[in-house]
Amino acid sequence: MITITILVENTARGPGILGEHGLSWWIDTGTHRVLFDTGQGMALTHNAARLGIDLALADAVVLSHGHYDHVGGLEAALALAPRAALFLHPRTIEPKFTGTDPANARRLSTMFVESESFRTAGRRIVASREPTEVVPGIWMTGEVPRTNDFEDTGGPFFLDPSLIRPDPLLDDQAIYLPTPAGMIVVLGCAHAGMVNTLDRVARLSGDAPVRALLGGAHLENASPRRMDETVRALRSRQPVQMGFGHCTGLAAIRRFWSEFPGACLQLHAGLRLRFSA
């Protein structure tokens, strides 16, 4: 049995569960446990304790990209999980900013990640652009090729506070789990594009069917064409189950629920999903 628990999400349900702008997933295959992203850091350890999840049992921590709402809790997570390996794209450590005016540029990266303070004695670090098996049965996509002409990073992202050097967010990646019933795909923010990410997983899996597609899709500022093409791609892939949250945007989520009413579920911190292995 594969159990996927949302530890951090913008919304929350359940006694004492906190919501926070960010994402963190606890993926348990029954034999191995992976923490995928860590939220901003305020809700992670609190929600894990409320949900009876011991972060010290993590075999690995995987980062989807270097934005604070996905890596802010990394320092606390690693302190609690001294034996967990850390998996990330090499460009996750780059300084990251957003804004439309340099006078009000906002830093999206964290000093803990930028300074590579996660490199401590005895910690296994895997910085790779390639698809990598994190633990048996759980893979990270590695760098996602940008192969279509309708997806972008989803916002004004830069590598410098002067907002001169655009950040292509090449560090963006997802997690996928092959199962006999199809692929379970877990997104961070899909800055590479959800369709590009699904195409990547399809190439890596021999075009296996999509059993579940979960996570953030950064479609808040999506053009009508991008939304239409995304819906078209989902109709083609026909995920059995879909859940979108965090950075997806309410209009996009509403569109998906309208187009795929029987497949959609609501994501929130405290949600546990179980899949037969």
User: Where are the chain's structural domains?
Assistant: 2-275
Residue 277 confidence (pLDDT): 80
Q: Residue 161 and residue 182: Cα distance in Å, rounded?
A: 42
Residue 27 confidence (pLDDT): 98
- In terms of C-beta density within 10 A (0-12 exposed, 13-18 middle, 19 or more buried), how is residue 184 classed? buried
Residue 10 confidence (pLDDT): 98
3-state secondary structure of 163: coil
33: its two tokens? 């446990």
Q: Residue 17 and residue 2: Cα distance in Å, rounded?
A: 22
Residue 228 confidence (pLDDT): 98
Q: Residue 184 and residue 190: Cα distance in Å, rounded?
A: 15
158: its two tokens? 């830069």
Q: Which CATH superfamily is domain 2-275 in?
A: Ribonuclease Z/Hydroxyacylglutathione hydrolase-like (3.60.15.10)
Strand partners, 184: 177, 212
Helix, strand, coil percentages in the chain from 3-state DSSP, rounded to 5? 25, 25, 50
Contact between residue 199 and residue 226 where contact means Cβ atoms under 8 Å apart: no
Print pLDDT tens along the chain (277 aa).
Answer: 999 999 999 999 999 999 999 999 999 999 999 999 999 999 999 999 999 999 999 999 999 999 999 999 999 999 999 999 999 999 999 999 999 999 999 999 999 999 999 999 899 999 999 999 999 999 999 999 999 999 999 999 999 999 999 999 999 999 999 999 999 999 999 999 999 999 999 999 999 999 999 999 999 999 999 999 999 999 999 999 999 999 999 999 999 999 999 999 999 999 999 998 8
